[in-house]
Structure 1
């Protein structure tokens, strides 16, 4: 079984928050094998375990046990992408939650939300499975905070839950949690999540437009038709993710997927591929984007694409595209940076 993946959208607002707390977000992202530039591609899949470790590391280095709550404050309903369109048109909060639970795999394979109702109370439980043994405190608090925000968005800012529960211990200072949730907090509970009145879930969604509901559902169905990512798809995405970090190898990809290298080879072979062909395809795609832009010098590009020397990169590029990197950059309409005018031979 491969490890669960999450979309980069899970880290919306991370860069700004980290900097506001005097952290180095680029260094932290790279320390868990995440590409800082990838945050601009919110629909890209990355290992859930990397996101989980990043949040824990950031909370530790900033000495902020409320790090996840601060991150949640930077999120909007639109962070859920196309799913947000359908959620806001559901007739009530119960329908919106059921929709979120049904399609949660679209954004985070490691997130598991369940809901049960009894005696006038509804319990909405959230759990995180990163696919490896690692602390999940911050990720769990982020998930619970997002559920709370969703309900408050639908029910109004004056709505508050009956209680908020966490399986982990109470922080040394829970004042930030008190302010965020505005409800009794129960730490050391047997589940993490939110308890609400079922009558709250029946309240009409003040944002919903019945005339748009059918169209929103049809739109969502067109986006969720594809099956879950295959191992081959995940290998391709991980190669694209790991290449710019300089740590792209079949061993690293296999570790990210929670399998051994033989399993990766076997799955690729079923699709008529090898790791080398996948790697070359990713290099071609990244090279065209990086060389055509101005952000990186040719030496930096050669390093990020895992070439031993700039001249090796230049020869490979010429074989692929029939011209040197410098010629490609000139034809794309961008002048090379001063630091890159002579770092790769023509």
Structure 2
């Protein structure tokens, strides 16, 4: 099957949003795990009443925060993983029904990649081939949303269940990639996906073979598919991310895969290097300073997770040597990473 390359679809300047169907059953799921949905939603800045209408847009930052806070309050580190594993395609609303109504599994995956940014703005999804395998890639590109581990894991579970709806519960991808650092209990992820899971990658993706993509979807309905596509296009929020937020998002995405190179960021933004330089000058943004700011914020977040070794944090932030990271961190905070972590732990007691 031909594999399209789908570019970022930003959805008027303002906050990124996701249709409320993406939180289907979240209140019950939080409750079942001993959490208080009202308290969780209050910390995340969400009004639970907004979750009642599947086609209502809700703030994406708040949506991601809902699951991060649910993981914290319930003390279930893999909250997003398990929420995504039980999330069937029909629960996802219009984008889920588009996949279900597609004629074949291959078309369902192509439609998922193509239309998902209408379901959720500030997001990039792509379907592409590499080294004889297909990759279904998902990434939030809104640079304001830094804490999104739970969202990444639940979304990969949602995507996996599109395949399993057609091929059975035993289907497994070849690999799963996640952009965040490995959690304390990574074995649970391989158990959930029945596949090797790699952390600290440049994006979130399912990697799979193309040998079953011609299988018919059980609920294929061409007429319904056409109506669903039109409906999603009609309700989609067309918000355009501010330049700095898009730029920050691309910098964050490139950190874990090595040095953040100006040319690579320009290419990711679909700009020439001269055009990117003009944008930076027009908005008085220093590129190197912004890269350092993102690294500093990420370093603090990683150091708060005590199971992540300082040497791993250095790699996740694009440093080839731990000594270079330690020098940079001491310049930012006045103390070494280990001293910062020890002080934070003492203050938390």
TM range (shorter): 0.5 to 0.7
2:25 matched to which residue of 1? Answer: 13
Given that residues 80 and 150 in structure 2 are in contact (C-alpha distance below 8 angstroms), is that contact kept between their aligned partners in structure 1? Answer: yes
Distance of aligned partners of 1:184 and 1:104 in 2 relative to their CA distance in 1, 3 Å threshold: same
Distance of aligned partners of 1:190 and 1:36 in 2 relative to their CA distance in 1, 3 Å threshold: closer
Given that residues 48 and 130 in structure 1 are in contact (C-alpha distance below 8 angstroms), is that contact kept between their aligned partners in structure 2? Answer: no
Q: CA deviation at 1:112?
A: 2.2
2:48 matched to which residue of 1? Answer: 36
1:203 matched to which residue of 2? Answer: 214
Structure 1: 5+ residue stretches without partners: 232-346
C-alpha distance in 1, partners of 2:229/2:28?
A: 33
Counterpart of 2:201 in 1: which secondary structure? coil
Q: CA deviation at 1:130?
A: 4.3
Distance of aligned partners of 1:225 and 1:141 in 2 relative to their CA distance in 1, 3 Å threshold: closer
Q: CA deviation at 1:206?
A: 4.6
CA deviation map 1:181-222 (0-9, x unaligned): 00011112233211101223x33125154xx32x12331244
Distance of aligned partners of 1:82 and 1:178 in 2 relative to their CA distance in 1, 3 Å threshold: same
Given that residues 88 and 158 in structure 2 are in contact (C-alpha distance below 8 angstroms), is that contact kept between their aligned partners in structure 1? Answer: no
C-alpha distance in 2, partners of 1:89/1:66?
A: 31
CA deviation map 1:216-257 (0-9, x unaligned): 2331244145375367xxxxxxxxxxxxxxxxxxxxxxxxxx
Match of 2:96 among 78, 84, 109: 84
Structure 2: 5+ residue stretches without partners: 1-12, 240-349
1:229 matched to which residue of 2? Answer: 237
Given that residues 111 and 127 in structure 1 are in contact (C-alpha distance below 8 angstroms), is that contact kept between their aligned partners in structure 2? Answer: yes
Match of 2:60 among 5, 28, 48: 48
Match of 1:112 among 124, 138, 143: 124
Q: Report the count of equivalent residues.
A: 227
Q: CA deviation at 1:96?
A: 0.6
Match of 1:125 among 137, 140, 143: 137
- Tell me if 1:218 matches 2:230: no
Match of 1:177 among 185, 189, 197: 189
CA deviation map 1:153-187 (0-9, x unaligned): 12222211101111211111123212210001111
- Tell me if 1:98 matches 2:110: yes
Q: CA deviation at 1:116?
A: 0.9
Q: CA deviation at 1:15?
A: 1.1
Q: CA deviation at 1:124?
A: 1.2
Normalising by structure 2, report the TM-score. Answer: 0.60
C-alpha distance in 2, partners of 1:75/1:34?
A: 21
2:5 matched to which residue of 1? Answer: none
- Tell me if 1:145 matches 2:157: yes
Bigger radius of gyration, 1 or 2?
Answer: 1
1:309 matched to which residue of 2? Answer: none
Q: CA deviation at 1:25?
A: 0.7
Q: CA deviation at 1:4?
A: 0.8
2:85 matched to which residue of 1? Answer: 73
Q: CA deviation at 1:134?
A: 2.3
C-alpha distance in 2, partners of 1:32/1:179?
A: 29
Counterpart of 2:134 in 1: which secondary structure? strand
